[in-house]
Amino acid sequence: MTAPQAHDSTARLLIVGPQGSGKGTQGVRIAESYGIPVVSTGDIFRANIKQGTPLGQQVTEILDRGDLVPDELTSEIVRDRLSQDDAVNGFLLDGYPRNTTQVAHLDAFLAEQGHALDAVILLDVPREESISRLTLRATEQGRTDDTPEAIAHRLDIYEQETAPIIDVYDERGIVDRVDGTGELDEITDRILAALAARGLRLAA
């Protein structure tokens, strides 16, 4: 048996944007196009809560308040997930890293393997539009952290803790700012065009 070879069509991506920017929806579309898994920390936490695992019990109240799960715990979960076979050749991160400490954790993990993020997609959506999309999702999906207070709190955390990570990645020249308003297909096309311009080729 030969060791798995690195693929030409790999992409190590991060999608960032305020809650309600549509990054979940777009993330799935982009990941499908590249043939890579989506790694969403929010989805991992919600699945654990639903299944009543010890991790789920540990984070339920934190999610309901709209606060962040401790960095060490979150980073350990991501490290485990990115070590699985399907993520070895690429992945799309959604919801992690969420502050500069988590950026450092991710950098350390990727550097151990001689890797780095290829691109950071920043979905630009005005705050008012995020709030109205989140309020709509609250009625459609019944998420317990989509109360008006939790929504406002999560957007504040985004502006204070998550937005600064953009500066870090900007300095590395890997941020693609994409207008997140308009039709879903249009937004997907904008993202794929930005990634193609970086030379990130789609899966064969």
Which listed residue (14, 154, 180, 190) binds ligand AMP by CB under 6 A?
154
- Cβ neighbours of residue 12 closer than 8 Å, sequence gap 6 or more: 90, 91, 110, 115, 116, 117, 118
Tell me: does residue 163 bind ligand AMP (CB under 6 A).
Answer: no
Residue nearer to ligand AMP on the CB measure, 32 or 67: 67
The answer to the question of residue 96 lying near ligand AMP (CB under 6 A) is yes
Distance CA 72, CA 1 (A): 36
| Residue closer to ligand AMP, measured from CB, 22 or 66 | 66
Closest contact distance (angstroms) between CB of 94 and ligand AMP is 7
Closest CA to 180 of 46, 11, 30, 9: 30
Q: CA–CA separation, 175 vs 121, rounded Å?
A: 6
Q: By C-alpha distance, which of 115, 64, 70 is closest to 93?
A: 115
Nearer of residues 66 and 90 to ligand AMP, judged by Cβ: 66
- The catalytic position among 12, 29, 46, 154 is 154
Nearer to ligand AMP, 23 or 200 (CB): 23
Task: Rule CB under 6 A: choose which of 21, 89, 102, 130 binds ligand AMP.
Answer: 102
| Cβ contacts of 66-73, under 8 Å, gap ≥ 24 | 66/145, 66/149, 66/150, 66/151, 66/153, 66/154, 66/157, 67/153, 67/157, 68/98, 68/99, 68/157, 68/161, 69/41, 69/45, 71/99, 71/101, 71/102, 71/105
Among 22, 66, 90, 180, binds ligand AMP (CB under 6 A): 66
Catalytic site residue 79?
A: no
Residue 87 · residue 36 · CB < 8 Å? yes
Q: Is 137 a catalytic residue?
A: yes
Told to judge if 46 belongs to the known catalytic residues of this protein, a careful annotator would answer no
| Catalytic residue list contains 50 | no
Pick 103 or 119: Cβ nearer ligand AMP: 103
- Cβ 62 to ligand AMP, closest distance in Å? 5
12 is catalytic: no
Could you give the residue numbers annotated as active site?
23, 98, 137, 143, 154
Binding site for ligand AMP (CB under 6 A): 19, 41-42, 45, 62-63, 66-69, 74, 95-96, 98, 102, 145, 154
